[in-house]
Amino acid sequence: METALKKLRSLISPIGNAILGSSGNDLQVTQPEPDVMLVSPTPQGFKRRVTDASGAAIETVRRRIDALGTKEPNIVRQGVNRILVQVPGFDDTAQLKKVIGKTAKMTFHDVHPQVSAEEARQTRVPFGYKIYESADGDKGAYLLREIPVVQGSDLVDARPGFDRRNGQPIVTFRFNNRGARLFGRFTAKNVGRPFAIVLDNKVLSAPVIQTPILGGSGQISGHFDVKEVNELAIQLRSGALPTPLTIVEERTVGPSLGADSVAAGEKAAVVAGLAVSLFMIAAYGLFGLFSLVAVIINLFLIMGVMTLIGSTLTLPGIAGLVLTVGMAVDANVLIYERIREEMRNGKRPISAIESGFTRAFGTIIDSNLTTLIAGLVMFWLGSGPVRGFAVTLSLGILATVFTAFTVTRLLVATWVARQKTSKIEAPL
Amino acid sequence: MMFKGVDFWPHDRTFQIMKMRKVFVIISAVAFLAAVAMLATKGLNFGIDFKGGSLFEIKSRSGPVDIAALRSKLNALGLGDVQIQGLDKPEEALIRIEEQKGGEAGAGIEKAQQIAATKVQKALGEGIEIRRTEVVGPAVSGELKEAGFIAVLFAILGILLYIWFRFEWQFGIASIIALVHDIIITLGVFSLLGLEFGLTEVAALLTLAGYSINDTVVVFDRIRENLRRYKKLPLIELMNKSINQTLSRTIITSLTTLIAVLAIWIFGTEVIQGFAFALIFGILIGTWSSIFVASPFLLWIGVKRDWSSESSSKKPVGASV
């Protein structure tokens, strides 16, 4: 027993390498009972497998989505074993789910020469063989050698096409050198016998080998329609997914709703902008106009930063922009109300303006910073639409504070400087 | 060219808010307790973000939606609880399917949601356009619930820390009381009206938190300034003065923000309306709490009178409510 354990343990490979150092092993051999040996993955080993699989899966998913010809898809990893796929402007959700959902592991197997699947089911499955169901359902099952002759990983190309004889949609494929060699050898030895093409553990077809296929290419036919051969070709070309993927969350917005949302957002933004503008001008006259200039510059700033960081504008994001318009004037309101108060207390206009800006500064910082905290928490813990809102809100607050003290101040100062008389009447 | 603005506010009027503080606090307390009772009994109408399940926003291509026929067609699929809600336009409706229980744990349950969604899409057929689909499995809905709750908690904590840092701890406590008051009452209204509560509504709640504190801080800032200026003024009068001084700004800002959110509510699509409503109500109640709730509580907790020096009379002057 001891020697067996020792031998097994020597086979285990550590995770990591000479350069970065190793962080434990990926397998462990334990002895839960006196004459039982258990080989199992270590927690690190398991995690490593999942991480590697996720990485490979993301790449495969990316290739498949690219092959669909989508515009600017966003594919990111979330956590250890999740992938977030965002495809704007792409309508056919069902196709997207099919293309990235299918594992698409393709293998070519040898069919058992004597025993049929039925017999094996009744008696005993011979060693090294396995029963595979037909993808068709009505064609029955096949008894195939478990270890495949060639694998999908040896496929170098796969294209949709049409069968020359009966016009059915098919997928034509080509092997790499290794695959071509293995396939050629196998077909040369087995002329007149069938071999099975298996996709995701279901038998697609089991044609009989007419002649040795030495060129390393062939075609796959089944009961496919044109759309299906296109999808299968994409999946084969991009490689099989290392593990099956399950959809845990789906949000789809159809084109008509998307268009409606944009229109609604625009309307709301315009109406809000106009209403707030009118109000500010009515309440603060010329200075109200200045605050509007500040708000407009605000919006440009926000949009600019969003373009720079590549943030997507969602409907809640537009709501954030509209809200910013409403709240942005707050900073200016604080300043102007303060100026009015100082003048009521007897200060001369110029000094009232000066202290208005100075006194309001602290309050503006305090009040906007607390809203910013809320925005940042939202960004950190949120996802998708909530994040979009958090981005515009947070950027809006930063822009507001910035413009209140630069743009508004500049405009007011310029106006003061331009006054011809030394007796200035503030338009408040 | 110079044109003057109109100063709407009656600056010579002093509203005796602090004198009537008992009334206001009682009103707020009653509303708060009512909200808590609502939440404890009826509870919130959680959306699929937190409950799991699937949602379809549909539009009939030919005239108004026959809700009854649709309901029986979908019930026949055997997918559990099916809710159909009409929307503003008669051709539009919202279908909700509850979270499917079948399937083995792990990938099986998640797949069950997808299978159910596909069944619904097939059953709806060509005559119905599906404008929006949302499918949330149990794994994600659990996480979103947690995330939403933590978000609100963290926001409150973050705000409390900031106020503690910028003001004194008494200000912090008072402002958090006002904030929690706002959040709970808003949630109570959601419960009362049976409005759906999902992730976007949590975002509205966080925004409301920021806005409410925003307002409260402006008042507290003025109180602090006046504490330094008017050392002899009785606390109640000082607070009343502070509130009155900031009243014009508070009302005006609430108006402008309200205009903005009303625009969102009126023109927005169904997706954003729950959010807009939460904000509208939140702004109203945030303004109320900043004027009528925060200061009375600050008075009750007590606040340091002498700010100019770190000298003897550090005993906080509290007054009974």
Say yes or no: A308 and A192 in one domain: no
User: If you average pLDDT over residues B154-163, what whole number do you get?
Assistant: 87
Q: Which residues of A touch B253 (CB under 8 A)?
A: 327, 329-330, 333-334
Interval A279-309: pLDDT, tens? 888 888 888 888 888 888 888 888 888 888 8
Q: Which of A325, A278, A317 is nearest to A299 (CA)?
A: A325
pLDDT given for residue B187 in this prediction: 93
Nearest by CB: B132 against A253, A282, A326: A253
Average pLDDT, chain A: 82
The CATH number that applies at residue A198 is 3.30.1360.200
pLDDT in tens, B43-67: 888 888 888 888 998 888 888 888 8
Contact criterion met (CB < 8 Å) for A276 and B259: yes
Within A26-145, strands assigned E span: 27-33, 36-41, 74-78, 82-86, 106-110, 129-134, 141-145
Q: Are A61 and A100 in contact (CB under 8 A)?
A: yes
- H or E element: which one contains A155? strand A155-162
Q: Which domain holds residue A349?
A: 255-418
Size (chain A), residues: 428
Overall number of domains in chain A:
3
* Terminal-to-terminal C-alpha distance of chain B: 53
| Contacting B residues, span 242-261, partner chain A, CB-CB under 8 Å | 245, 248-249, 252-253, 255-261
CATH number, domain with residue A389: 1.20.1640.10
| Pair A273, A409 in one domain | yes
pLDDT category of residue B84 using cuts at 50, 70 and 90? confident
**A28 pairs with which residues across the strands?**
A40
Residues A234 and A259 reside in one and the same domain? no
| Angstrom distance (rounded) from CA A187 to CA A197 | 13
Contact between residue B7 and residue B249 where contact means Cβ atoms under 8 Å apart? no
- The Cα A373–Cα B186 span in angstroms is 20
The answer to whether the beta carbons of residues B206 and B278 sit under 8 Å apart is no
pLDDT tens digits, residue range B273-307?
888 899 999 999 999 998 899 888 888 887 776 55
Continuous H helices in B125-137 = none
- B45 three-class SS: strand
- Test A372 with B131 for CB contact under 8 angstroms: no
Query: What are the tens digits of pLDDT across the range A246-271?
Result: 888 888 888 888 888 888 888 888 88
pLDDT at B115 over 80: yes
Using DSSP bridges, classify how beta strands A106-110 and A150-151 pair: parallel, antiparallel or unpaired: antiparallel
My answer on whether A273 and A198 are in the same domain is no
In this structure, the number of other CB atoms found within 10 A of the CB of residue B279 comes to 30
A62 within a domain of the structure (yes/no): no
Q: Give me the domains of chain B, ranges plus CATH numbers.
A: 18-46+141-301 (1.20.1640.10), 53-136 (3.30.70.3400)
Residue A58 is assigned to a structural domain of this protein:
no
Strand order from edge to edge, sheet including B82-86:
A249-253, B128-136, B53-60, B92-97, B82-86
The predicted pLDDT at position A60 comes to 86
Q: CA A282 to CA A268: how far, in whole Å?
A: 21
If you search the block for the tokens 């909530």, which residue do you land on?
Answer: A386
Q: Where a domain ends, among A210, A238, A266? A: A238
Same domain, A389 and A259: yes
- Does residue A61 fall inside a structural domain? no
Strands A202-205, A217-221: pairing is: unpaired
Whether residues A37 and A96 share a domain: the answer is: no
Say whether both A104 and A193 belong to one domain: yes
Q: Is the model's pLDDT at B318 over the cut of 50?
A: no
Residue A342, in any domain of the structure: yes
Query: A352 and A290 in one domain?
Result: yes
Domain identity same for A406 and A343: yes
Which site among A381, A387, A420 would you substitute to test the B interface, given the most B Cβ atoms closer than 10 Å to its Cβ?
A381
Whether pLDDT at B310 is above 80: no
* CB within 8 Å: B256 and A279: yes
Most confident by average pLDDT, A204-213, A394-403, B106-115? A394-403
